[in-house]
Structure 1
Amino acid sequence: MLLRFRVANYRSLRDEHELSFVASDVDDEIVRHTGVESGGKEIGVIPAVGIFGANASGKSNLLSALVAMRAAVRDSVADWARDEGVPRDPFALDPACRRENTLFEVDLLLGQTKVRYTYGFELSDERVEAEWLHAYPGGHKQVWFDREADRAGGEEFRFPNENLRGAKKLVELARPNALFLTVGASFNNKQLRPLHRWFTNNFWVVASDDAGVAQRSDYTRERLVDPKRGDDYRKRVESLLRVADLGIVGLDIDEALPNDQQVKLLHRTGRGKPLPLDFRTQESLGTHAWFAFLGPVLEMLERGSVLLADELDSSLHPVLAAEVVRLFQDPDANPNGAQLLFTTHDATLLGKGVVGRPLSRDQVWITTKRGTGETELYPLTDAGPRTTDNLELGYLRGRYGGVPRVTAGELAREVTELVSGGV
């Protein structure tokens, strides 16, 4: 389970920012109890977090930062060896940031016993400038390793104890531009592999672009025809298609047809017998989006991993978006502790009207863009809303930030003035 994520000097996230899945109130009905304590208090984990903000405020960059951290952990040994230096994407609107490090850090719980780990690193264009891994078995901190580069081009690895077994002999295999975690996992260190595996199995990004929808549709279809999945997977997909109120009552699968034609959706008719439609040419864009969404959702629920949904509202009706949030918050539907991190403009997720407000104040974060082009990230609770406040109305009126600074009718006036001036 992901507890916290820290990032600095990545794209529009210039300053250090922290996103937290840790609940302030462990008695909230959606909070997952972990039995793990920190500072004398139990850590409660939030299963779904939404990031609200205006266009170009940096919401997507936060998701991208998690993916960039995963890519570094996964690829630093094999891919970074092809070129000198380190691939990274620092804040571009200030040239000085090219000389500053990029920071990534996660705080998480792993395994059946839910041991807490803190892992992070800092990168320059040339090398790994720092890297650290701390574990908290039984709630007590153990420094497994600390790595730091020096100005002379060398670096120091510190192993204060023998808690990370076999680590010292791996130091000579670690290039300056490779992460030690990746090196250890590559050489099958039993203690480092679970953390490395957490990165490789996490962070599926669901975006609304046409290429992404087509790719995920293929994935959902391939799993439906995979004999290893069996009828249970098909029943879950059919159930989620039916509850979306798309007029779909089932699936027709014919493995004798070409791959992209094997799955057809059965639609309700006025004559009693459902009829299949050609998925590529006859189904609506909304149906394509929902069908494509199901494969990643079911995969992440099965793994107990983190699903990153960029602009959740762009392809899903607000009622469906709310149901996706509730799916992750339901302990019976999500027994493995999967988490959802999504960006959205959909203020109805904050209201008590149509969707019944699936998000509590703890689950909402805001991004704003400063005048210098930097993203500012903060939890809604920092904006001071009361438990009795109408969050939807307050957000739309700009009380909490994260909305465009555009007054009513401003766009029309601008266009009118341009047209009038041109005449």
Structure 2
Amino acid sequence: MLRSFQVSNHRSLAGAQELRAGRGNGVVAVPVTAVHGAAAAGKTNLVDALAGMRAAVLESVSGWDPYAGPVRTPHRGFPDRPSEFVADFVAEGAPYTYGFRLAQAEVAAEWLYAHPRARKRIVFERNGDQVRVGPMFEAARYGVAAVAPLVRPNALLLSLAGQLYAEALAPAYRWFESMLEVQYGPVAAEQVAHRLGAHLSKSPENAARLLVLLRASGLGIEDLLLAEPDPRYADHLRELDADIAATGAQLDLCANSPGHAERLLREHGVTEVLLDRELTNLRAARDALYARMVDRRGVGLSLVHAGVDAAFDIAEESTATLSLLRLLPTVLDALDGGKVLVVDDIGTQLPVEETDRLIQLFQNPQTNARGAQLIFTTGDRAVIDRSNGRSPRTATAVWRIRRGDGVSELTRV
């Protein structure tokens, strides 16, 4: 769950801006948060800031040039000011605040706080090359202290500690890695086919559910055809799918039966957190194996339209169809995993009715049983008005972004 996101000096977001994904102060999250604004108001820059924060956590150690400054995009009017990013979120059942400040040549500051029982506890604070571990995390001191001297001035400590699996920092790192997905910018038809094929190949239930939504869209698609897996990968994919299903079933039993969770811990030393981490690892391994198979032989995906005998390649589909095919797998994966999904310009190429149907999936407790969140931007106020005609408990939290004198400002509606 994402409670709030703050950013300053990123593209047109010059001053400090905060997006709260919930009611009041953002502590009680709502399933859907919308950001409305005119063209060039800064909607994409806000999404880009959140995507940039995630990328920094995952890539600053392995992907940033070790001899250059941190990767950042400050406002053109304030290139010398630092850029700051802060996220409040819940990872593995615990609230965290994580943030960092990027100067031109180095990471000027970085911090991670936990909030058990609504009380702030320092996990670590970094100022320049000095790292302080909080007194409540003495058990983690050795792990963090061992990692800290290895981190470059232009890389994040959380990035390095997460990749080296420092236990105290693992929940925060894994949240950015596995529980936050940001979708924006152009994408090639091949990438859409890859994600769609991966989703369809995981289970017949996935394929059936996606096809129901696709048929209801009115785009004329009657069926999806997916080639059988390469025999060199098929057995391993089936084994991973079986392990994913079994681990997911155990997690569901733990959630619905405290006695089952206690028995697992007593008899096998396994907690719900460990099960959840194992499920994430299995899904990542499955995705990696599927990607290797696709690199060798392609996705093998085609679409059947009503009244047309020959199947279509995905590259032949309309812009609206590609937009929906891009959204559907990410939406369904987010609902299945209880993720935070951020989508820029959610309904640009789609009818309002179809966009609203996707939003309803997050607002309906029956289709969103795992507490997934949708955060989206739009220039069409009708998308928001339709989704807010429902119960107050599931109403969309609405924000407006405006741009004046080259600076974007975010306000609650």
Same fold (TM over 0.5): yes
Note the 1:223-372 alignment, pairs <5 A. Answer: 223-224=199-200, 226=201, 229-255=202-228, 262-269=300-307, 275=309, 277-280=311-314, 283-351=317-385, 357=389, 363-371=397-405
Following TM superposition, by how much is the alpha carbon of 1:162 offset from its aligned partner in structure 2, in angstroms? 4.3
1:106-136 C-alpha deviation (Å, 9 max, x unpaired): 001111xx21100101010111111111101
Alignment TM-score, normalising by the size of structure 2: 0.76
For structure 1, the residue ranges without an aligned partner over 5 or more in a row are 25-37, 150-154, 381-423
For residues 55 and 318 of structure 2, what CA distance do their matches in structure 1 show?
34
Give the letter for the 2:404 counterpart: R
Structure 2: which 5+ residue stretches go unaligned?
A: 231-293
Distance in 1 (alpha carbons) for counterparts of 2:315 and 2:59:
38
In the alignment, the residues of structure 1 paired with residue 158 and residue 407 of structure 2 have an alpha-carbon distance, to the nearest angstrom, of 30
> Does the aligned pair in 1 maintain the 2:341–2:373 contact within 8 Å?
yes
- The 5 Å alignment of 1:147-296 reads 147-149=126-128, 155-163=129-137, 165=140, 166=142, 167-207=144-184, 209=186, 211-224=187-200, 226=201, 229-255=202-228, 262-269=300-307, 275=309, 277-280=311-314, 283-296=317-330
Give, in whole Å, the separation in 2 of the partners of 1:335 and 1:275: 39
How far has the Cα of 1:77 moved from its partner? 1.6
Equivalent pairs: percent with the same residue? Answer: 31
- The residue type equivalent to 2:51 in the other structure is V
Cα 1:237/1:260, change in 2 over 3 Å: farther
> 2 CA distance for matches of 1:160 and 1:205?
31
SS of corresponding position for 1:147: strand
8 Å CA contact 1:252–1:276 kept in 2: the answer is: no
The letter for the 2-side match of 1:121 is F
Residue from 82, 87, 96 that aligns with 1:117 = 96
Change in CA separation of 1:208 and 1:357 when aligned onto 2, cut-off 3 Å: farther
Partner of 1:410: none
Structure 2 matches for 1:58-77, cutoff 5 A?
Answer: 58-77=42-61
CA RMSD in angstroms, aligned pairs only: 2.6
When normalised by structure 1's length, the TM-score is: 0.74
Q: Mean Cα displacement is larger for which, 245-254 or 15-24? A: 245-254
DSSP-derived class of the 2:168 partner: coil
Q: Which has the larger radius of gyration?
A: 1
1:283 Cα shift? 3.7
> Which amino acid is 1:329 matched to?
Q
**Residue identity matched to 1:11:** R
**TM-superposed deviation, 1:326:** 1.0
Of the structure 1 ranges 290-299 and 121-130, higher mean CA displacement relative to structure 2 is found in 290-299
More helix by share: 2
When the two structures are aligned, how many residues end up with a matched partner? 343
